[in-house]
Amino acid sequence: MNLQRPNVSEASGDGQAFSNVRKLINDVCDRLNVPERCRLKLNECERELIVHFPVKFDDGNAKIFTGFRVLHNDTRGPAKGGIRYHPDVTLDETRALAALMTLKTAVANVPFGGAKGAVICDPKVMSQDELERLTRRYTAEISIVIGPECDIPAPDVGTNPQVMAWIMDTYSMGKGHSVPAVVTGKPIEIGGSKGRFEATGRGCTISALLATKNLGMNPREATVAIQGFGNVGAVAARLLAREGCRVVAISDSRGGVYNQNGLNVDKLLAYKRETGAVCDFKDTENVTNDELLGVPCDILVPAALGGQLNQANAASVKTKVVIEGANNPTTPEADMILSDNGVLVVPDILANMGGVVVSYLEWVQGLQSFFWDESQVNEYLGKIMTNSFTEVWEISQSEKVNMRVAAYVLALRRLTVAMCLRGIYP
């Protein structure tokens, strides 16, 4: 058996993602006069686990993979955060995503903290059996830090309900009984929540409709461009189209398509299932992912990966509203450019928090073995999204700051109160 070892530089990463999040945390801490002990705690992750583990491939060879599980802060409750499978993920990015989860759960005002997990791999080139073996081994490695009372994973880029099912089963085998609350985003048949799969995209849709309402726009006259046609982007596209919006551009990892007269989202979904991509769809013009970000539209939804809106392309963005469906899709430099150009950016910790809101419901259902129907779940999600958006909007207007700063203000106020109440042990 041949054994391939991981590239150490892949695991560490030299990105600035976590530094960027920390800078904005510190800027808002200055604005709020947050006590130094709270600021210090928010600037660091409470726990970081790095694991290296072998996975046997179908051809008999094996490879060593590197994975992470990072807990940023659990002051307000058990940590919550997805698991990402991607060839370019790093520890720095995982730290940043964990910190954003801390802020997101505080904005949503659900009793969770923030965490994130990742494995450096390319799930698109792995068989189903290989993915299962990787998932089960990774779960075994991080099982010392996860659990329904302390740290609850969920799907993210490159993972799905099936991956969550494998995690739940592996963890449960170690405990000797089923533990459905150890993960959220799992299949309904083994304790998942109705409405969870669509929750993040639905939350983005609610955010987009609230943003247009506050700007005096008519959604039925709005045009939409969406980068990313996975779970979040596809659901948002379908729901926004149902609200009367004209979706003019959509892309996936291979490229995108554009038609100023609008796309038939349902037919495009069927085409992607058939061909594996959206490119060359009938009566459309092919565009690159970067070109899509410059398409003239009223609502732009970056729902792919982080850093897509950056200093190099932000000035070419021609939209009125950006709804951050992805985590951390806009760099600080791009944020400033968009703000100067009068673009309303609804930040990730508000726009895409629908997933964690319904994850909270799924977690509660798993603990209590009492389940709600989809209409009840969607009603609760709509209520929380609307309340949170309204709170952030009011802070933005009263303090004359953009929506990202306003969301951080709301989150850090709640976190500061909780940390001061709990104090420092011993």
The domain made up of 197-346 is a member of CATH 3.50.50.60 = no
pLDDT at 426: 85
| Arithmetic mean of pLDDT, 92-121 | 97
Q: Please write the tens of the pLDDT for every residue from 300-359.
A: 999 998 899 999 999 999 999 999 999 999 999 999 999 999 999 999 999 999 999 999
Q: Please write the tens of the pLDDT for every residue from 147-176.
A: 999 999 999 999 999 999 999 999 999 999
4 pLDDT band, cuts 50/70/90, is low
422 pLDDT band, cuts 50/70/90, is very high
Q: Which is higher by pLDDT, 379 or 4? A: 379
pLDDT at 222: 96
13 pLDDT band, cuts 50/70/90, is low
| Arithmetic mean of pLDDT, 78-92 | 97
| Arithmetic mean of pLDDT, 178-204 | 96
| Arithmetic mean of pLDDT, 252-267 | 94
CATH no. of 3-10+20-180: 3.40.50.10860
Close Cβ partners of 61 (under 8 Å, ≥ 6 residues apart): 1, 2, 3, 4
| Arithmetic mean of pLDDT, 211-228 | 95
| Arithmetic mean of pLDDT, 398-411 | 97
Percent of the chain with pLDDT over 90: 94
8 pLDDT band, cuts 50/70/90, is very low
Residue 116 designated active-site? yes
pLDDT at 75: 97
pLDDT at 43: 96
pLDDT at 7: 52
Close Cβ partners of 234 (under 8 Å, ≥ 6 residues apart): 201, 265, 269
The answer on pLDDT for 386 being more than 80 is yes
Residues of the chain with CATH 3.40.50.720: 197-346
The answer on pLDDT for 5 being more than 60 is no
209 pLDDT band, cuts 50/70/90, is very high
| Arithmetic mean of pLDDT, 56-73 | 97
pLDDT at 279: 95
Say how far residue 375 (Cα) sits from the centre of its chain: 23
The answer on pLDDT for 11 being more than 60 is no
Percent of the chain with pLDDT over 70: 96
Average pLDDT across the chain, whole number: 94
| Arithmetic mean of pLDDT, 194-204 | 94
Residues of the chain with CATH 3.40.50.10860: 3-10+20-180
Catalytic residue among 80, 104, 116, 186: 116
